[in-house]
Structure 1
Amino acid sequence: MNSGRVTIRDVAEHAGVSVATVSKVLNDRYGVAAATVDRVREVIAELGYESSLVARSLRNQRTNVIGVLVWDIEPFSAELLKGAARAIRGTDYELVVYAGGGKGSGRLGWERRYLSRLSGTLIDGAVLVTPTVLDVDGGTPVVAVDPHSGRETVPTVDADNLQGGRLATEHLIALGHRRIGFLGRPPRDLESGPLREEGYRSALAEAGLPPDPALIRVAGYDETDARNTVRELLTLPDPPTAIFAANDVSAISTIEVATSMGLRVPDDLSVIGFDNVPESMMSDPPLTTVEQPIQQMGLIAVEMLLDLLAGRDPAQRHVRLPTRLVPRSSCAPPK
C-alpha cells in the first residue's frame, strides 16, 4: 500500500473484498454478509480511511459538513466558532471554517465568492459571519450573524447593539464625563456599527449633551485605523475625557495609544469597548466593555442552520440577544 492518502481500493485489497463491497459497507447497503461488514469496518478503522468530501457529496448529495464563512479570523469570529462547535456536538455534522484572511479583491460581496467555492460539493449549509450582503443564492441554506443589511429573508442572529451603545455611553455619563469620543464603523459597513452610534447619540441626548462632530470618528475595526484616529482625537484642542470604541480591538488600541502619549488610563482618559472578547480582560488596565454573547450567537446560528438542513423552519428566524455592561478598570470619573 502506498504511503499517501488511503483509498477505497486500499481498503478493498486489505480486506480481501471488491471495491463494490467496500462501497456497500460505506453506504449501509444490503447484500453484504455481517462478517464481511465487520471485517471491512475493522480495516477502515485500522487504515484510517476517510472518503473525501467531494466523493461523499457526489455519492449522497450531502457532505454533512457545515461551513462557517468569515472575512477574517479575529477575536469576534474566534469566539463565535467556539459556540458553533458546541452546537454540532452529538450531531452527524462537522464544521469547516473558511476565511480570506482579510485580503482579496475587496470586502463587499465576499460571502458570494466564498459560497460559490464551497457550495454543492464541500458544505451542505453555511453560517455567514458579519456578511456585507444577504442576497446570496445558489440554493445553499444560510444563516447570517451580525449582518450588514438587516433581516430580509435570510435567518439572522445578532445582539441588541442599540441598547449596548446606550449602556456604554450612559456608564461614562454617570461617571461625570461630558466630552465622550466615539470610534465607529464606516456608514456602509455592518448594521451593528450605526446602531451602536445611535445608542451613543441617544444616551447623550437623554442627558442633554449635544453630540460634538469632532468627537465622532470613523475608524473601522482595523487596528492601524483605530490608532491613527485615536491620536487625532487625543490631540484636539479640547480632547475627550472618555472614548467609547465600537469594539474591543479598537478600545485596546485606544488604551495603548493613550499610554504611548503619556496619558494614564483611567486617570486621564476613560476607555470602554464592545464585545467582551477574552483579550479585553488581559489589557492593561482590564477593559470595561459591553458584552454581546458571541459564543451563544454562534451556537444559535448553527442550531438554526441544522433546522433548515432538516427541512424545518427555525422557531425564530431573527434572533436578537441582549447586551450587558461589564465594568472593569479602564473607566473612572474625569479629573
Structure 2
Amino acid sequence: MAEHAGVSVATVSKVLNDRHGVSAATVDRVRAVIAELGYESSLVARSLRNQRTNVIGILVWDIEPFSAELLKGAARAIRGTAYELVVYAGGGKGSGRVGWERRYLSRLSGTLIDGAVLVTPTVLDVDGGAPVVAVDPHSGRETVPTVDADNLQGGRLATEHLIGLGHRRIGFLGRPPRDLESGPLREEGYRSALADAGIPADPALVRVADYDENDARNTVRELLSLPDRPTAVFAANDMSAIATMEVAASMGLRVPEDLSVVGFDNVPESVMSEPALTTVEQPIQMMGRLAVEILLEMLAGREPAQRHVRLPTRLIPRASSAPPPGR
C-alpha cells in the first residue's frame, strides 16, 4: 500500500490511525489507495489500538428459523450506526449444549467484539468482559438485560383458540424444561386455559421432544397412536408443529379435518406449510432489534430505559385448525 501511494509505511500508519503530521494532500492520496485496494485493518489490530472494534456479536447455538428471523431485526438496528454485526454459531454441534454461551463469548470478547446478544442462552452468569443482552433466555432475568415474548399468554391464546373450536382432547408438544424458560411458560399457558374451561389435563397428552428432529417425530407418532388420540395438538414452536402435520399425513390423518395443529413463533415456514399453519406470533424481528438497541445504549455508557422487555404475542389463525370431527 505504501508503495502504491508513494509514501513511507510510517505515513500510511499515521493516516490509518488519524495521527497528525501528514499533509491533507497526502492523506487524500493514501485514502484513495486504501479504497482502490479494498484494504481493511484487522479487528484484532483495531482492538489493540483503540480498545474497541465497533463490532457487535450475535451468538447463537445454531442457525434455525427463529435465530434467522432475529438476525433480520438485529441488522436493522445497526443501520446508521458505527457498528457492524458478526454472527457466531456452533451449528448445533459440539460437546454439551448447556454453557455454550460462555465458550462462545470467551472466544470473541476482548479482541473481536465490543458486546454481544445471546440468543436463547442456557445460562446468564456469563462474564466475558463485554456487555451482553439475552434474548429468550433459559433462566430468569437476573442482572443481564433480557428481551422475550409473553410466552405464558401465548400458550393460553393457542389453547383457547382450540377450545373455542370445540376441541377437548388437546395434546401439547413441548421442550424439556432444561432447554428454555419459554417452553414451561407455554405449557403453563396451555394448562391454565384448560383449567379455566373446566377441562382436566390428561398427562398422556403432554409430551416433550428434544432438539433432535427424529426424536420429535417419534414423540408425535406416539402421541397420535394413542387409542384415544387428541383431536388437536399445540406444539411449542412452529417447526415442531410442521413436523406434527407431516407425521399426521404419514399416518393417514388429514389436517385439519382429522387433527388440528397450532404452532408458536410465526416463522416464514409457517405460512408456507401445507396447510398453512395456525400459530402464535411472537415479534421475533422486533426482539432482535430491541436487544441490539439496548446493547448500543450500554456500549455508549448509558443505562437502558428498560433492562427487561417482554413483548406481547398474538394468535394468527390459518388453515391448520378447525372444529373437531363430528362438530
Classify the TM-score, shorter chain: over 0.9
Alignment match of 2:116 (pick from 115, 118, 126): 126
Alignment match of 1:331 (pick from 314, 321, 324): 321
Which residue is equivalent to 1:107? Answer: 97
Mapped to 1, the partners of 2:41 and 2:290 lie a distance apart of 29
Deviation at residue 221 of structure 1 after TM alignment:
4.2
String of CA shifts for 1:195-236, please: whole Å, max 9, x gaps. 000000000000001100000001134422221111001100
Q: Structure 1 residue 216 and structure 2 residue 216: aligned?
A: no
Any conservation in 1 of the 2:275–2:320 contact (CA below 8 Å)? yes
Matched residue pairs, number? 325
**What letter is aligned with 2:263?**
G
Deviation at residue 37 of structure 1 after TM alignment:
0.5
Deviation at residue 191 of structure 1 after TM alignment:
0.4
Mapped to 2, the partners of 1:138 and 1:226 lie a distance apart of 34
**What letter is aligned with 2:34?**
I
**What letter is aligned with 1:250?**
S
Q: Structure 1 residue 141 and structure 2 residue 137: aligned?
A: no
**What letter is aligned with 1:18?**
S
**Runs of 4+ deviating beyond 3 Å:** none
Give the TM-score normalised by the residue count of structure 1: 0.96
**What letter is aligned with 1:329?**
A
Alignment match of 2:4 (pick from 5, 9, 14): 14
Which residue is equivalent to 1:87? Answer: 77
Q: Report which stretch shifted further, 14-23 or 149-158.
A: 14-23
Q: Percent identity?
A: 88
Give the TM-score normalised by the residue count of structure 2: 0.98
Deviation at residue 12 of structure 1 after TM alignment:
1.3
Any conservation in 1 of the 2:102–2:128 contact (CA below 8 Å)? no
Any conservation in 2 of the 1:221–1:250 contact (CA below 8 Å)? no
**What letter is aligned with 1:155?**
P
Which residue is equivalent to 1:188? Answer: 178
**What letter is aligned with 1:32?**
V
Q: Structure 1 residue 255 and structure 2 residue 245: aligned?
A: yes
Mapped to 1, the partners of 2:211 and 2:92 lie a distance apart of 12
**What letter is aligned with 2:215?**
D
Any conservation in 2 of the 1:223–1:249 contact (CA below 8 Å)? no
SS in 2 for 1:144: strand
Mapped to 1, the partners of 2:256 and 2:211 lie a distance apart of 22
Which residue is equivalent to 2:67? Answer: 77
SS in 2 for 1:237: coil
Mapped to 2, the partners of 1:221 and 1:274 lie a distance apart of 15
Which residue is equivalent to 1:24? Answer: 14
Any conservation in 2 of the 1:72–1:101 contact (CA below 8 Å)? yes
Extract unaligned runs of 5+ from structure 2: none
Q: Structure 1 residue 201 and structure 2 residue 222: aligned?
A: no
**What letter is aligned with 1:55?**
A
Alignment match of 2:167 (pick from 150, 162, 177): 177
RMSD: 0.7
**What letter is aligned with 2:284?**
I
SS in 1 for 2:103: helix
SS in 2 for 1:149: coil
Which residue is equivalent to 2:25? Answer: 35
Any conservation in 2 of the 1:307–1:313 contact (CA below 8 Å)? yes
Any conservation in 2 of the 1:221–1:247 contact (CA below 8 Å)? no
